[in-house]
Structure formats: C-alpha cells, structure tokens
Structure 1
Amino acid sequence: MLRELITILLLGACALASERDFMLPLKLTHSHLEEIFLGCKEGATDAYDRGVDDLAPPRGQGTGCAGFIGPPTLGSLLYKDLKAHGNLKEWEITLEVHEGKPMKISWQSEKLPECYDLTFVTNDYEKDMRKVNELEFTTSQTVVIVAGLNPEAWNAAKARAQGDQPDKTEVATSPKPAPEKKQPATAAPGVPPPASKRITGSISMLVLAMGGLFLLIVIFAAVRR
C-alpha cells in the first residue's frame, strides 16, 4: 500500500513538472547563432547547470552575436539557459549588432509558457511577448526578458496534474419527493380519547345495558306463567 502511494505521488510530481516546465526558442537573424533557448525546468538552478544549460560557441566573422549572460566565473555566453521555477525570473541577453546588419529576434506565440507572463525589456520600451512576436535591433545593447508567474495558470496546471479538474458537466437536479399522505391521528398509549368520543362510548354502553335488562324482564315474566 505504501509503495503504491509513493508511486502515485511520484507520478503526480512528474506530471506537475511537465505541465510547468517550458523551453522557448528565440529565432535570430544576422547572428552567429540561429536560435537561443530560455526556460524553466524542475530541478534546474539559476546558476550554470552542466547537462542542462549549454555554452554558446565563439562568434564568427562578419556577423552579429547574441547569447545569455551567465555567471561571471563562467567566462562564456549561453545559448540555452534553463532556470528554477519561481515568482520572477530574468534572462539577460547581450546583443552585438554587426554594422549594417540589424538583428531580429522572433518567437512563436503558441510556444510561450502558460504558467508565466513574459515581457521583453530594453532601454527604450517594454513589450508583452504575447502581443508581439518580433523585435529588431540596430545597435548593440543588453536586453532582459522577465517572466512573472501567473498564479491562476500555475494552479490550473497543478489541478490537471493531480486530476482535480473541476467537473464542467451539469449536475442533474434531484426529483422533488412526493407529498406525504397524512395518516389519521391515533392516540398514544395511556392518553385518554377526546371528550366527544368518550360521550359516544358511554351512550353505547347505556343502550346495551338497557337492552340486556329488558331481555331479563321478558324471560322472568315467561317463567312465572
């Protein structure tokens, strides 16, 4: 029984992790990389995780360069940076734009995570990444992508993973019970009947007694003859 319970809990945790984990590709033009990846993963940390995060290769000649800024001790950019889940996450991206070759960053809206709201932040503006899916840069700079946790979506993912989805089917109304038929009232044991019933009973007894007395008189008269 305990082993089955542990198995169920582990399966629920795995389902929950798969619901919340995400990895978003960012497409690049005029960069030494065609795309870079950001996301959140169960078990990852905000530092460099070997086997989870990936280092970016050196930039080439005659093109721009883009990558995630990792820890200072790393000494290299990242082209894949997966962080731990949390209420607020940030990815710093350095953009080195080659002269005469503006760099574009684009993404697919349907691949944005359900549990997070992502905002693209630059020195000049902030963009909701659900409302736009492409930005262009003509100068080198550092930009930030901020992911804020969406509590409603997070809880919904938890409910789905645990199988606690609310039932959307209509609940049938129970039929109304038929009215109870009133039974004639009966006197409880030891409780005298109403006065009207007592009087009726007394008259009946009196009539019977008089009838019996009349019958005795008739018999007595017949015997004496």
Structure 2
Amino acid sequence: MRLVIARCSVDYVGRLAAHLPSATRLIMVKADGSVSIHADDRAYKPLNWMSPPCKLAENDGVWRVVNKAGEELRITLEEVFSDSSHELGIDPGLQKDGVEAHLQQLLAAQPETFGIGYSLVRREHMTAIGPVDLLCRDGGGAHVAVEIKRRGEIDGVEQLTRYLELMNRDPLLAPVAGIFAAQEIKPQARVLAEDRGIRCVVVDYDRLRGFVKDELTLF
C-alpha cells in the first residue's frame, strides 16, 4: 500500500464531473490498483476514488488514474509532505460471528426465503475487494448478490454497494441486483439501501432453523 499526504486538487472526468479544490489530503494506492482520496474526517469514506481495474500514470506532479471505461481521476499535486509504501501481505478477511456464519449457511440452503424461484449459484462469491456472501439467481434467471448481517447497519449497505459496482462491470454477471439480509435492519440503513435500489429482507433466525414458538399469542 502506498500512502501519500499532499496538498492537491482532484478532478473526476466520466459519467459525472466532480472537482475537489486544493487542500491537504491523504491519497491511498492499494495493491489491487484502486486509488482513493481521503480528508481528515468522514470516517472511512473517501472523498473520491477509482475502483480496479485501472491504470495509474504519474507525470510532472499530475496523476492520471484511468479505468476500462475511460473515466479518469486526475490528481494534481502541489506539495508532497509524505510518500511511503508498506507491504501488508494477504489479509485473512473478516471473520463472521457464529450467528452470522450460520445465517449464511441457512439462507444458502433456503434461497427461496428471498422469493419464489430463487436458487443459489454459490456461497462466498469472490470479487476484487472480497467475497459477497451469496450469489443467487431470481425466478427470471438474473443474478442477485446477497450480503448477510446479524444486524444491518449503514456500513453493510456500503459494503454491498461496492460489491455491486464491481459485479455489474462483469458482462457474464450483469445486471446484478442486491439484497441486504439481516435479523434486524436499522432505519438509516434501510433508507440508504432502498435509495440505491437494494432490497432489504429481515430474516427470522429461529424460523430458518425450523424452530416454532410454542407459546400461545393473541396476534
């Protein structure tokens, strides 16, 4: 990973044009080729980025990052304060807790939970930035990526959004829809997911395991 702290301006030229005026920022170049620009706030979310596959060319203080579609992220460096590279090695990935891992197993065995005619293609479908939990087909044969959480929050929606962005570039998969599945989905996460065209599904862990409550209920 290469980390550059510099005063820079950034322009994105593609389907949409965007401009970041001159300021001190962190530029991150990962081993997968992705380039992202960060401010000293906004938690983990970059100000702008280019996802792999893309090519980086440096010339006289100007970085040009171009993807396969010809979109360009242009970074103009005015003053570099730090430029360092670090070998991180292979990351083992996020380890799911017991309930989350079991949810994935149960939903893989019962894809009809998501709708009539749904079928499983594979579990842990690998993308350039990590595995999406389930790759399914809907009743019409279209691909659907399913991200599973015990508790659905905004970061899970962001994670699925990144997977979908990459998967929809693959002509063998596209178009790929998204489902965000969890035992509980926070209201803010639901709003963000639905705004991005991602369907939310609340799953009942006990029902998936075949447990039925014995208590009598009024409703």
Indicate the TM-score class for this superposition, using the shorter chain for normalisation.
under 0.3
Larger strand share, 1 or 2? 2
Larger helix fraction of residues = 1
Higher RCO (Cα < 8 Å, 6 or more apart) = 1
Q: Which of the pair has more CA radius of gyration?
A: 1
TM-score by length of 1: 0.22
Normalising by structure 2, we get a TM-score of: 0.22
